[in-house]
Each structure stands twice: as C-alpha cells, then as structure tokens.
Structure 1
Amino acid sequence: MKYADLHPNIRIRIITDFFTDLTQKSIIPFMAIYLSIQIGAGLAGLLLTVNIVASMIVGLWAGYWSDRIGRKKLMVIAQSLQVMALLGLAIANSPWMDSIIVTCLMFLLSSLSSGITVPIANAMIVDVSSEHERHYVYGLQYWTTNVAVTFGALMGGLFFESFRFLLFSLVCLESLATLFILIFMIRETMDKRESGCGDAPIQRNILKTYWAVFQDKRFMIFFTATVLAVSLEFQLDKYIAVRLKNEFTAQLLGSDISGLHMFSLIMVINTVMVALVAIPFTRWIGRFQSRSIMTVGMLLYTAGFTVLAFSNWAWLLISSAILLTIGELMYAPVRQVMLAGMIPDSDRAAYMAADGLSYNAAALLGSLGLTIGAFLPSYAMAGLYILMGLGALIFFRMLLRKAEEQNQHLPCADAS
C-alpha cells in the first residue's frame, strides 16, 4: 500500500487534516492559560466547558445531516466558519484592537466549526476506502496528527504570548487555503455508495437516529472499550503528572531530575517515537491478524500506564513510556478499522459523531482519576489501570472474534 494508491479525497484530507490539527494545537492549549489571566480561572473553565459541550452537540447535529444532504456542503460551511473565527481572533488581538469578548466569541465559533468537521471528515474517509486500505490510512493519519500536535505546540509556545496577531493571521491564511482546497478539489462521496443502500430516512428525526445508534449492541461494546482504553491516555497529563511532581526525584545520567522533568521526558519519548516509527511500524504490523495486534498492543499499552502509576525508578519509567507508545501504535489503527467496519452505510457520520462522545467520556474519567488518586495509594491506581486496560481488551477481542462470522454482512455493504 502506497500513499499514491489512495483515493484523491483521502490524500487531500490527510494533508488538510494535518494543517487543521496544527492550527488547533497551536491555539487551544494556550487559550486556557490566556483566558485564565484575562477573565479568571473560574470563568475560563466555564467558557472552555461551554465550548466542549457546544462542540459535542453540533457534532451530533452535523453527523445526522451529513448522512442526509452530503459531506462536502457541511464541510465547506464548517471551514468557512473556521476562517471567519480565525480572522476574528486575529482582529481582536491586533495592534488596532484588543477585545477579550470578541476573542471568546470567535474561540467558540472555532470550536463549533471543529465539532462539525470531525465526524464528517471521518465518514468521508470510510466512504472512499476499502477494508484492506484502512489500516494503512489510519496509521498514516495517527502519525500526521501527532506530528501536527508537536509543531502546533511549538508554534503556540513561540508566538501565542507575545505575537498572537501574527499567529492567528498565519493560521487564518492556512484555514483559507484549506477552504479553497475543499471547494475545488474535494469531491462529494455520498454518491459513491450503492444506490439501493439503506435509504437514510430523512423522516427519522435526530433523536430517533441517535437512539438507534446507542441501541446498537455491537457499537456500545466498542464504545465502552474505547472509553476504557482512551481514559488511560487521559491519565497521563492528570494523575500521573501530578503523582510524578509530588513523588518523583532521581538522578539520571548524573543529573538531578524532578517529577516535572520526568513527565516532560515521557511526553518527548512518545512524540519522537510516533514521528519516527509510526508509518514503517504500521506497515510492518499490517501483515499480522487484527486480533493478535490488538491483544499485544493493549497489553503493552496497559502495562506502560500501570508502571507509570506507581514507579519512581527513572529507567523503568522511560521503558514504560516506550512500551505504551508501541502499544498505542498497535491498537489505535485497529480500533479505527473496527469502527469503520461495523457502522451501517446510511448513518456513517452519525456513528462517527457518537464515537466522538467516547473521547469526551474518557476525558471525564481522566479528570475523575485525578480526584480518586487523591484518596487512593499509587499501587491501587495501578490496579485500576490494569482493570481498565484488560476490560478494554476483552471487549475489543469479543468484537474481533465475532467479526469473521459476521464479516460486516450488512444489507448494503460498502463496496468502495
């Protein structure tokens, strides 16, 4: 499998998604700090919560309508809103204007745009990819996302505090270029599906649509497994970071390092490994069965986080960071392939939007882990991580075991 062999829409989306992620990650992590300084931590937290909830709601709405009126129309609308939001942010933080109210409103508009785009873009990839392509596609997408996060954080760190106008202007130009690409190069994918498939009933309202999604037993098993697995990742910058700050001090290569230094080192290891080995590693593991990849990957991933929950030995923590990264590189693309294979053609974007809720639930568990960790000893938290990881693995394996016999024989299987 080569990049040039992929459908043009996928090739374009991978490139534009990279720059979209770059834009988001150069703004969002630093916006929380900026808002806390400008309006206070309490109001900043409330505003960020409103943004997340609004993004979730509009994502569900977009998933529903994308399955009925097409992908491209809504993606162009969402990208147009993103251009407007970033232009507004640039103006509100320019040499001629400094408005925190406009900044908050435009930040909300940017969040709404992202909420619309994500489930539709994911559904579009499924529309035009075959089952044997998806492992490569999702591995490549995982790599580009992590590289974008790295460079976005670097851009934000360099420009956000002192050069916000320049930063917002640059990302606005990037967003405008993405809009033109969507308008003139991306093709609608709804017509790629077989004409007799499913009849996505427009008379079925949004509540009935999502009621049907969350009554899908296979999807809910997958949803639960995703929440358990991803919630471990959300522990890293919460409970694990706090524990290392409070408990860890050691010497490494003759130098004293603090818990925050160790946490930063773990993040660097994860980022560098993904950037350097994700694509060749994904190609190599693609020759093995999905169930074997998922099993080994989740075991390594769980073991890595379990050790991070209690150990204060520097070299063991470094080894665990390597293990969990390898595990994540193995299980994450398989998870995406599983999702693509189980959703019905008529409600693809709706299922993608519902899947996005699993990340919000995982983020909630990540925050809850910080609270629970204040009362439980570190070895008890490690035990909880083992239960969460093994629970996710059991559910994922259950679905993979059934996949062969079911083989996604839906009434109108995707023939793309």
Structure 2
Amino acid sequence: MKYADLHPNIRIRIITDFFTDLTQKSIIPFMAIYLSIQIGAGVAGLLLTVNIVASMIVGLWAGYWSDRIGRKKLMVIAQTLQVVALLCLAIANSPWMDSIIVTCLMFLFSSLSSGITVPIANAMIVDVSSEHERHYVYGLQYWTTNVAVTFGALMGGLFFESFRFLLFSLVCLESIATLFILIFIIRETMDKHVMGRADQSNDPGPSTTPMQADAPIQRNILKTYWAVFQDKRFMVFFTATVLAVSLEFQLDKYIAVRLKSEFTAQLFGSDISGLRMFSLIMIINTVLVALVAIPFSRWMGRFQFRSIMTAGMCLYTAGFAVLAFSNWAWLLISSAILLTIGELMYAPVRQVMLAGIIPDSDRAAYMAVDGLSYNVAALLGSIGLTIGAFLPSYVMAVLYVLMGFWALIFFRMLFRKAEEQHQHLACADAS
C-alpha cells in the first residue's frame, strides 16, 4: 500500500488534518492557562466545560445531518465558522484591541466548528476507503496527528504568551487555505442513493405544514441516536474503547501526579525528579511514534487483526500498569516503550473495526457517538486522579490491568461475532 494509491480525498484530508491539528494544538492546551489568568480558574474551568459539552452536542447534530445532506456542505460551513472565529481571535488579541469577552466567545465558536468537523471527516475517510486500505490509512493518520500535536505544542509554547496576535494570524491563514481546499478540491463522498433514502424517510409529505414538518425531524434525530445506542455490537465496541482510551488519559493525570510526589532517582549520574521522568516518558512516546509508526503499520498489515489487537492491548495495559506503581527509572522507561508499541498496534485496528461495524446510512452519526467515548474516557481519567488520592499505587495498577483486560475481552468478542457472520454468509452462499 502506498500513499499515492489512496483516494484523492484521503490524501488531501491527511495533509490538511496535519496542519489543522498543528495549529489547533498550538492554541487549545494554552487557552486554559490564559483564561485562568484573565478570568480566574473557576470561571475558566466552567467555560472549558461549556465548550466541551457544546462541541459534543453539535457533533451529534452534525453526524445526523451529514448522513442526510452530505459531508462537504457541513464541512464547508464548519470551516467558514472556524475562519471567522480565528480572525476575530486574532483581532481581539492584536495591538489595536484586547478583549477577553470576544476571545471567550470566539474560542467557543472554534470549538463548535471542530465538533462539527471531526465526525464528518472520519465518516468521509470510511466513505472512500476499502477494508484492506484502512489499516494503512489509520496508521498514517495516527502518525501525522502525533507529530502535529508535538510541533503544535512547541509552537504554542514559543508564541502563545508573547505573540498571540501572530499565532492567531498564522492559524487563521491555515484555516483559510483549508477552506479553499474544501470548496474547490475536496469532492462529496456521501452516496447519493443513501442520501436520497434518508431524505425520503424524513419527508413530511406535501400536506404537512411548516410547523408540523419540524416535529418529525426532531423525532428522527432522537430515533437515530436511540437506534445507535441500541446497537449491541456497537455499544460493546464503545465500552471497549472507553476502557482502553481511559488508560491513556491516566498518563497526564494520576501517573503524572504520582511521579511528581513519589519518584526521585538518578539516571546517567544525574538526579531526575518525577516531573522530569514524566517528561521523558512523553518524549519517548512522541519520538517512537514519529520514527516507527508508518513502517510499523505496514509491517503489522501482514498479521491477523485479532492477533495484533491481542498483543497490542497486552503491551499497552502492562505499560500503564507498571507506570502506576513503579519508581525504578529503567523499568518506567521500558514501560513507556511497551505502551507506545502497544498503542501503535491496537489504535489503527480499533479504527478499522469501527469502520467495519457501522452501517452506511448512519455512518457520521455513529462516528459522532464514537467521539463521545473519548469524552467519557477523559471523565474516567479525572476520576482516576481523584480515587488515586485514596488508594495505594499497586491497587491503581490492578485497576488498570482490569480495564485493559475487559477492553481486550470486548474487542475479541467483536472479532468472534464478525467471524461467525462471515461463516454464516459463506454457508448461505454455498447452499
């Protein structure tokens, strides 16, 4: 599999997503600090919570409508909103104006734009990729995202505090370029026959008044997501994702706090604090992903997905379990390497599984709900920090093992059901 063999939309989206992630990560991680200084930590926390909730709600709305009117229209609308928000952010932090109110409002609009774009962009990749391409595509996307996050954080650290106007202006220019690419180069990927069936199912009929027409649409939104949450196979996948991803959210919460308070050692003849150890773990993760993600993804493509998922989840879980209790520097470094390799194995396979279990007619809606799994996992990460204050570190390690174990059990259940379905279809074809 080569990059040039992919659908043009995928090739373009990988490039534009890289620059979007790069610019977004140069802003978002630093906004919490900036807002805390400007309006207080309590109000800043409330504002960030509102942004997350609003982004989740608008993502569900966008997922529903994307399956009915197409991907491109909503993506253009969302990107236009992003351009306006970033332009106003630049003006509100310019030499001519300094407005915290405008900054907060435009940051909300930027979050709404991202909430609309993410599930639709994910659905677009599934629209135009075949099953054998997806492992390579998601491995490549995983690599570009991690590299973009790293350089975005570096760029934000250099420019955010003293050169916000310049930073927001650069991000706005990137957003404008992405908008033009969406309008003039990206093609619609939603099957018109699928859109037609969805539109027909929502048609209130010629005799329905405008007031009456709104009601079925609202009911259909609720029915769509009710059907998603009643899809037992997808909910098994959702639960497995929450359990697996919540381990990742423990890294910068409980594990970071534990290392800061408990860890001290010597490495290469120098004293190293818990915070420096945590930074070293993050550097190991980032460098490994940047160096080996793409060739590793190609090499893993020769193995069965079930075997990759099993080995990957075992390494991933073991790595986090050790980080939860060990204070031996070299064991922590080894665990960081193990969990990174495990993540490189299981993460692309998870995406391939997701693409295979969602129906064509509600693809973006399922992607929107899948996005909720990360919010739930983030919540579990925060809860882990709280309960970690009362439980010893070895108990937290046991909890991590249980979470990883059940995530693997649920993922393997899905593999087994898929194999049973294939066998059933093969028998039906033979008869």
User: TM-score, normalized by length of structure 2?
Assistant: 0.92
The change in CA–CA distance for 1:181 and 1:409 in structure 2 (over 3 A counts) is farther
Contact kept? 1:82, 1:175, Cα under 8 Å: yes
Partner residue, 2:256:
241
How big is the shift at 1:408? 11
Contact kept? 1:231, 1:362, Cα under 8 Å: yes
Runs of 4+ in 1 over 3 A off after TM superposition: 198-204, 407-416
How big is the shift at 1:405? 2.6
The change in CA–CA distance for 1:258 and 1:62 in structure 2 (over 3 A counts) is same
SS of aligned partner of 2:265: strand
The change in CA–CA distance for 1:268 and 1:408 in structure 2 (over 3 A counts) is farther
For residues 367-394 of structure 1, give each alpha carbon's deviation from its aligned partner in whole angstroms, at most 9, with x where no partner exists: 0000000000000000000000000000
How big is the shift at 1:413? 16
The change in CA–CA distance for 1:202 and 1:68 in structure 2 (over 3 A counts) is farther
Separation in 1, partners of 2:237, 2:384: 22
Separation in 2, partners of 1:125, 1:414: 30
SS of aligned partner of 1:414: helix
How big is the shift at 1:305? 0.1
How big is the shift at 1:41? 0.2
How big is the shift at 1:347? 0.1
Contact kept? 1:130, 1:415, Cα under 8 Å: no
The change in CA–CA distance for 1:157 and 1:292 in structure 2 (over 3 A counts) is same
How big is the shift at 1:205? 1.3
Separation in 2, partners of 1:408, 1:267: 43
Task: Between 183-192 and 252-261, report the one with greater CA deviation.
Answer: 183-192
Partner residue, 2:64:
64
Partner residue, 2:103:
103
Structure 1 gaps of 5+ residues are 193-197
How big is the shift at 1:403? 1.2
Contact kept? 1:345, 1:413, Cα under 8 Å: no
SS of aligned partner of 1:250: strand
How big is the shift at 1:415? 21
Contact kept? 1:200, 1:346, Cα under 8 Å: no
The change in CA–CA distance for 1:223 and 1:408 in structure 2 (over 3 A counts) is farther
The change in CA–CA distance for 1:98 and 1:48 in structure 2 (over 3 A counts) is same
How big is the shift at 1:202? 6.8
The change in CA–CA distance for 1:43 and 1:204 in structure 2 (over 3 A counts) is closer
Aligned residues: 411
Contact kept? 1:51, 1:112, Cα under 8 Å: yes
The change in CA–CA distance for 1:266 and 1:171 in structure 2 (over 3 A counts) is same
How big is the shift at 1:23? 1.5
The change in CA–CA distance for 1:409 and 1:55 in structure 2 (over 3 A counts) is farther
How big is the shift at 1:227? 0.2
Separation in 1, partners of 2:217, 2:277: 53
User: Larger radius of gyration, structure 1 or 2?
Assistant: 2
Contact kept? 1:342, 1:408, Cα under 8 Å: no
For residues 100-159 of structure 1, give each alpha carbon's deviation from its aligned partner in whole angstroms, at most 9, with x where no partner exists: 000000000000000000000000000000000000000000000000000100110000
Contact kept? 1:291, 1:397, Cα under 8 Å: yes
The change in CA–CA distance for 1:159 and 1:411 in structure 2 (over 3 A counts) is farther
Q: Percent identity?
A: 92
For residues 328-378 of structure 1, give each alpha carbon's deviation from its aligned partner in whole angstroms, at most 9, with x where no partner exists: 000000000000000000000000000000000000000000000000000
SS of aligned partner of 2:429: coil
How big is the shift at 1:24? 1.2
Separation in 1, partners of 2:353, 2:140: 16
The change in CA–CA distance for 1:201 and 1:270 in structure 2 (over 3 A counts) is farther
User: TM-score, normalized by length of structure 1?
Assistant: 0.95
SS of aligned partner of 2:424: coil
Q: What does 1:203-282 align with in structure 2 at a 5 Å threshold?
A: 205-282=220-297
The change in CA–CA distance for 1:346 and 1:242 in structure 2 (over 3 A counts) is same
Separation in 1, partners of 2:377, 2:268: 36
The change in CA–CA distance for 1:334 and 1:267 in structure 2 (over 3 A counts) is same
SS of aligned partner of 1:256: strand
Contact kept? 1:38, 1:100, Cα under 8 Å: yes
Separation in 2, partners of 1:409, 1:17: 39
Contact kept? 1:310, 1:379, Cα under 8 Å: yes
Contact kept? 1:71, 1:190, Cα under 8 Å: yes
Partner residue, 1:299:
314
Contact kept? 1:21, 1:145, Cα under 8 Å: yes
Superposed CA RMSD in Å reads 3.2
Contact kept? 1:306, 1:386, Cα under 8 Å: yes
Separation in 2, partners of 1:140, 1:18: 11
How big is the shift at 1:404? 2.1
SS of aligned partner of 1:412: helix
Separation in 2, partners of 1:389, 1:168: 40
The change in CA–CA distance for 1:132 and 1:99 in structure 2 (over 3 A counts) is same
How big is the shift at 1:190? 1.1
Contact kept? 1:345, 1:412, Cα under 8 Å: no
Contact kept? 1:58, 1:112, Cα under 8 Å: yes
The change in CA–CA distance for 1:56 and 1:29 in structure 2 (over 3 A counts) is same
SS of aligned partner of 1:104: helix
Separation in 2, partners of 1:255, 1:225: 41
The change in CA–CA distance for 1:356 and 1:200 in structure 2 (over 3 A counts) is farther
